[in-house]
Structure 1
Amino acid sequence: MNKINLIDELHKRKLIFHITNEIKFKELLNKNVVSLYCGFDPTEESLHIGHLLPLMMLKRFQLAGHKPIVLIGGATSLIGDPSFKKKERFLSKESVIDKWTVKITKQISFFLDFNCGTNSALILNNNSWFKKINILSFLRDIGKHFSINTMINREAIKKRIQRVEQGISFTEFSYNLLQAYDFFILNKKHQVSLQIGGSDQWGNISSGMHLIHRLSKREAYGLTVPLLMQNNGMKFGKTESGTIWLDPKKTSPYKFYQFWMNIDDANVYYFLKLFTFMDLKEIKRREQNKNINNQIIYDKALLAKKITSLVHGEKNLLAAERITNVLFFKNIEDIKISDLQQLKKDGIPVLEVYKMKDLQEALVFSSLSKSRTQAKNMILSHSISINTKKITNKNHVFNENDKLFNQYTLISRGKKNHCLIFWKRMI
């Protein structure tokens, strides 16, 4: 990808939802190194996969020779963005925000190059200017450029106002001005001419462009990426068991990998365009052959591999693949204790015990069977495995040979139902 075809490439990948003054912006990109920014409010201790598209958009611009700036919302996170939120976000203490800022900064550092010359990435925190600002000066010098009529007619604000039981506080209402001021400061001090974000940020981005034009008479640009929803109507990155986080301590690399392995088949090639840097011709070729020899399954694994490697690194990718090979392909020889620790955290159901009478009891307590009678029949029908080995003795009693690393036992019913027994040690 280069400066000349960057925007065309983004369109082909369906990465652009909104873009302002596209023809003029393309001319600017082709002539200059453009500084652009995306903001991330540390309202949690980790980013989640809903943040991946904006992060990867920054990376795409950097690979094309432009300068990405990440703005950590140390100040704005104390307010909370109301955009398309059903109710006001819980406001965290400043000390907590500071801790989360450190963690999120570390996560973001993994995606961009901070030592590549003129277009090296930069991370800033808007608390560095908001903590110095005077409330009266802000209202007089910034607030006067915004019309309440315009602000309340923005879709995100209008929806909240129409919810009588929730409404919107003045605190949240002011967020739009704060983000607009961020864009103005970055434009003034760092020559940032483009803000990117999710499509739900369009109103905030537009306000920033408006403020820059009013105060500096400069032209600024906005670009948003699509917000993704799953076929079940659930927000992308959410599962029945919760959010898929980028922090491996909150979502293990194995569970992260499995999220991508379990996406709907209809999204595989769309997501390869969005979340990888694969050549578009190669993606198209694979899509054309998706029904030949189950090619789509291999392409789904390729997607999971590329994104897991990008977010968690090669070592954690290999661990996720090892666990997958154990659970689905019965290859347990290479399993490591760290892999089993991942499984214990969030990979599969876990049964923690000091002792267990026999396999039938374990099947009942793990909910792999409804009764001892059903458990016995499962064993006799060769449906049950311990550490991937079929068990045929209906009266099987656990022994030390059943314990991996003296602490773990993997019970499986068929190919897709598993439980990990963690043998607690007597103190």
Structure 2
Amino acid sequence: MTYHPKSDFIAVMMERGFLADCTDYQGLDEALIKGCQPGYIGFDATAKSLHVGSLIQIMMLRWLQKTGHKPITLMGGGTTKVGDPSFRADERPLLTPAQIDENIAGIRKVFAAYIDYDSGAENAALMLNNDEWLADLNYLDFLRDIGRHFSVNRMLSFESVKSRLDREQSLSFLEFNYMILQAYDFMELNRRYGCILQMGGSDQWGNIVNGIDLTRRVIDHEVYGLTSPLLTTSDGKKMGKSQDGAVWLNPDMRSPYEFWQFWRNTTDADVGRFLKLYTELPVGECDRLGALAGSEINAAKVILANEVTTLCHGAEAAAAAEATAREVFEKGGIGDDLPTLTLGAADLPASIVQLIVKTGLAKSGKEAKRLIAEDGARLNDAPLTDAGMMIEASDLTQPIKLSAGKKRHALVQLA
């Protein structure tokens, strides 16, 4: 793609690696240089927090605001009642309105760290809920006024639907309606707030195109779509997952220390790319750090972890996480990719044998006991001799380090 953008926003999207596709580069570019323009991304409220997989979209909204435009975060209070079928093998479980409201309250906290909603500036962000206009739709009117603009043949051709049908997996009528509702959202946001841009992951391309088409047909307004690549790590894993589940952005669901550790354990090949996407360091500096090799790349990973954690949890939390990591890793003289077991208060007290098994240092309780009996186990680098030892919450004010032999280590921490 050789398009040379005039607007700061598209220039940033292109040079930092955010851009997968755009419905009309030139049209959007010309609109953006005319002044502050609203653009939105929708987030369904399927959990109490977003995870790292959504961070690329959050950063897109942040850059939209930093380049002078107005981000709209659209919470899917209405669409969550239906569930987005895009690229899923099964139907999403349906949530109650109370669960959806609780999830929206949790997600709202994440956005406050990245986006300015309250300054009163022309480009101060809006947080909206599509339940506001979807909840009271009259079904017959909606079918007549909106449904007639959708071709089922065309909807069946979108990759997100096609892949499900090709695998002969059920696609309910409820889910099939989702793309119509998302298209309606774009039109309503244009009508109510002058929103000209919808962004999302590349799996949302079909939904975005539907919204552009509907807006043009019903109210004859020109709007645009822009997608980001669906990110996987260099070893092919889906972004946002770690050994022990999703890497949540809310601190009560994933501690700032563990969040920091996730970024510190980035694969060498991903460092430069992740610096461009998830931090605001200049592109040249991201390239320089990403090109480091050997032990020097570890210093770049610490910078990545500090920058991303500062954006999400604040500079104090990032500094505390780095200090804890230095304490645990450097003084203990251990290697990099350390598995971490996070326990809740309900999991404690727990026997040391259980913890050795849960961290993956032994396959069974029997093996863990043998490891202790043969002097192969250590707790914070001291020999572990008591197989009956219990770990209480008071023992976990700082993470503890378990070791099996000289080379295998794991951390245990309190959530």
Shorter-chain TM-score tier:
0.7 to 0.9
For residues 183-236 of structure 1, the C-alpha deviation after alignment (integer angstroms, 9 at most, x for no partner) is 000000100000011111111010000011001211100001111113443321
Name the CA shift for 1:395/1:14 in 2 (closer, same or farther; >3 Å). Answer: closer
Q: Is the 8 A contact 1:252 1:345 kept in 2?
A: no
Post-superposition shift, 1:272?
Answer: 0.6
Is residue 2:410 matched to residue 1:418? yes
Q: How does 1:149-164 map to 2 (within 5 A)?
A: 149-164=153-168
Q: Is the 8 A contact 1:351 1:419 kept in 2?
A: no
Name the CA shift for 1:408/1:297 in 2 (closer, same or farther; >3 Å). Answer: closer
Match of 2:343 in 1: 345
Post-superposition shift, 1:314?
Answer: 2.5
Is residue 2:330 matched to residue 1:329? yes
Name the CA shift for 1:368/1:64 in 2 (closer, same or farther; >3 Å). Answer: closer
Is residue 2:182 matched to residue 1:145? no
Name the CA shift for 1:207/1:315 in 2 (closer, same or farther; >3 Å). Answer: same
Post-superposition shift, 1:350?
Answer: 8.3
Name the CA shift for 1:396/1:143 in 2 (closer, same or farther; >3 Å). Answer: closer
Match of 1:13 in 2: 16
Post-superposition shift, 1:315?
Answer: 3.1
Match of 1:306 in 2: 307
Match of 1:70 in 2: 73
Q: State the alpha-carbon separation in 2 of the partners of residues 17 and 91 from structure 1.
A: 31
Match of 1:134 in 2: 138
Q: State the alpha-carbon separation in 2 of the partners of residues 44 and 364 from structure 1.
A: 29
Q: Is the 8 A contact 1:13 1:274 kept in 2?
A: yes
For residues 26-75 of structure 1, the C-alpha deviation after alignment (integer angstroms, 9 at most, x for no partner) is 11111121110110000111111111011110000100110001100000
**What SS class does the counterpart of residue 350 from structure 2 fall into?**
strand
Q: State the alpha-carbon separation in 2 of the partners of residues 281 and 200 from structure 1.
A: 30
Match of 2:258 in 1: 255
User: Which shows bigger deviation, 48-57 or 250-259?
Assistant: 250-259
Q: State the alpha-carbon separation in 1 of the partners of residues 354 and 114 from structure 2.
A: 47
Match of 2:49 in 1: 46
Name the CA shift for 1:202/1:421 in 2 (closer, same or farther; >3 Å). Answer: closer
Match of 1:339 in 2: none
TM-score w.r.t. length of structure 1: 0.83
Unpaired runs of at least 5, structure 1: 333-341, 423-427
Q: Is the 8 A contact 1:33 1:66 kept in 2?
A: yes
Number of residue pairs the alignment of both structures matches: 394
Bigger Rg over Cα: 1
Q: How does 1:76-91 map to 2 (within 5 A)?
A: 76-91=79-94
Give the CA RMSD over aligned residues.
Answer: 3.3
Match of 1:30 in 2: 33
For residues 57-102 of structure 1, the C-alpha deviation after alignment (integer angstroms, 9 at most, x for no partner) is 0000100110001100000000000111111111111121111111
Q: How does 1:72-111 map to 2 (within 5 A)?
A: 72-111=75-114
Match of 2:337 in 1: none
Match of 1:337 in 2: none
TM-score w.r.t. length of structure 2: 0.85
Structure 2 letter corresponding to 1:345: L
Post-superposition shift, 1:269?
Answer: 0.2
Q: State the alpha-carbon separation in 2 of the partners of residues 239 and 365 from structure 1.
A: 15
For residues 132-164 of structure 1, the C-alpha deviation after alignment (integer angstroms, 9 at most, x for no partner) is 210111101000111111111111111112232
Match of 1:189 in 2: 192
Name the CA shift for 1:134/1:375 in 2 (closer, same or farther; >3 Å). Answer: same
Name the CA shift for 1:218/1:416 in 2 (closer, same or farther; >3 Å). Answer: same
Name the CA shift for 1:104/1:328 in 2 (closer, same or farther; >3 Å). Answer: same
Q: State the alpha-carbon separation in 1 of the partners of residues 396 and 45 from structure 2.
A: 39
Name the CA shift for 1:28/1:405 in 2 (closer, same or farther; >3 Å). Answer: closer
Name the CA shift for 1:105/1:88 in 2 (closer, same or farther; >3 Å). Answer: same
Name the CA shift for 1:8/1:242 in 2 (closer, same or farther; >3 Å). Answer: same
Is residue 2:318 matched to residue 1:317? yes
For residues 303-326 of structure 1, the C-alpha deviation after alignment (integer angstroms, 9 at most, x for no partner) is 111111211222332332233123
**What SS class does the counterpart of residue 137 from structure 1 fall into?**
helix
For residues 263-310 of structure 1, the C-alpha deviation after alignment (integer angstroms, 9 at most, x for no partner) is 21111001111111111122223334x02x622111111111111121
Q: State the alpha-carbon separation in 1 of the partners of residues 160 and 265 from structure 2.
A: 32
Identical-pair percentage: 38
Name the CA shift for 1:352/1:324 in 2 (closer, same or farther; >3 Å). Answer: same
